[in-house]
Every structure is written in C-alpha cells, then in structure tokens.
Chain A
C-alpha cells in the first residue's frame, strides 16, 4: 500500500500529558499537510510543509503544538500539555508541488483526552 500512513490510529491519554503522532506521506510527494477534524465538522488546516520547510501555520496551532518534517520525509505532530479541547481526529495529507495537485489523506489519528 503506497498511500499516506498515520500512526497510531488511536491515542487515549490523560489531560496534561504530551502526545506525538507520525505521518508517512506518499513517497514522491514533497508537500505534507496536517488538519484537525472534530465530530460533524470538516477538516481544519493546521500547518503544511514543502520538503522540510514549514511554510504556513494556522492560528489554531497554539504554542502547545509543534510539527516537524526532518529530511523532508515523514512528519511528526506533537501536542504538549494536552487539554480536553484537543480531542479530535488529526489527519495528514500529502501532494505533489504546485497548484491543482490533489491532496491525498491518511486515515488519521483519533485522540481522546480523559
């Protein structure tokens, strides 16, 4: 399977703990995006990378959130000091460069904060 892969699929943690998610994009894609989706809503943009450079961050991405894409391959999204409001599905997508290129999504990591 050469699609976007996310790990773990589910994460349950206590409020105040730190969590880290991983995304492996489609191998030839140099753009990688993170979105957050809450129940009954469309995905909301968090941040995106072109190769290893983080090009844009949403104001949704508070200082407790950090994302990295070392060497322009896989990416990690870390949430520090988790809060109840962080409970959501975290989706990763990848695409080729340029306008009009489709973004392909993984199946997400569902985060539940106890």
Chain B
C-alpha cells in the first residue's frame, strides 16, 4: 500500500513535443505529491508539487494533473527541450514523513 508506480521507464521525445509521465498510488492518506528531476551525479531537485485537493497545478512548462478518484497523477512537460533530458521521479508522502518514490523515468529530448 506504500508503493508508487511510475511509467514509462524511458521516454524519447522530439524537441518542442509534450512529455507525459504517469504515476499511481494506493495509500489514500498521502497528502503531498512532488515531482523531482535528477541529472547524473546530482541529487534530486524539486520540480513541482501538488496536494490532493487540487486537480491541476502549472508552473511554466511543467503541469501536474491529479485524479484523486483514480489515485493517479501525471507530469506534463510542454515544449520539451534538450536541457530537460534527465530522470524524473514522482513521489508521495504523508504529513511530511518519508518520501515514497516511483521507479523513475529517463527522458531524452532530441533536437
């Protein structure tokens, strides 16, 4: 019940396209859902986050869509750029406790 399932494992997108990464969770008590971006040799960097009382949050080219009834949330990267090439992790947490991470999606954006 603590798992967060993430797909796809890898994603190849052309420059200017839309990248979409999906996550699903089981524990309905989770109250915070962040997305992290990680470059090789670096720690995860917080990208955007959402709470379950909101269905969508947008920050620049990054949007989280949240479907509470389906227990799913997704990250959309609009106008994908080569600099967006990285590994993306969804995560979930309860009351600021430990983050439960998905397995990651390796995104490659080709010019």
CB within 8 Å of B: which residues of A? 4, 31, 33, 35, 40-45, 48, 56, 58, 91, 93, 95, 97-108
Contact = CB atoms under 8 A, between A and B. Distances in A.
Contacts of B111: none
Interface of B: 6, 31-32, 34, 36, 41-46, 49, 51, 89, 91, 93-104
Contact of A99 (B46, B94, B99): B94
6 contacts: A42-B101, A43-B99, A44-B101, A95-B96, A100-B32, A103-B46
Contact of A100 (B91, B96, B98, B103): B96
Contacts, number: 66
Contacts of B6: 42
Main SS at interface, chain A: loop
Contacts of B31: 99-100
Given A40-B104, A99-B93, A104-B46, 8 more contacts: A33-B99, A35-B99, A42-B91, A56-B98, A97-B96, A102-B46, A105-B43, A107-B43
B104 A99 contact: no
A98 B32 CA distance: 11
Given A91-B43, A100-B32, A107-B43, A48 B98 contact: yes
Q: Could you say which of A33, A40, A43, A91 has the most chain B C-beta atoms within 10 Å of its C-beta?
A: A43
Contact of A41 (B44, B46, B103): B103
A4 B42 CA distance: 12
Nearest to B96: A99
Contacts of B46: 102-105
Contacts of A95: 96
Contacts of B32: 99-100
Contacts of B44: 43, 91, 105
Contacts of A93: 43, 99
Contacts of A33: 98-99
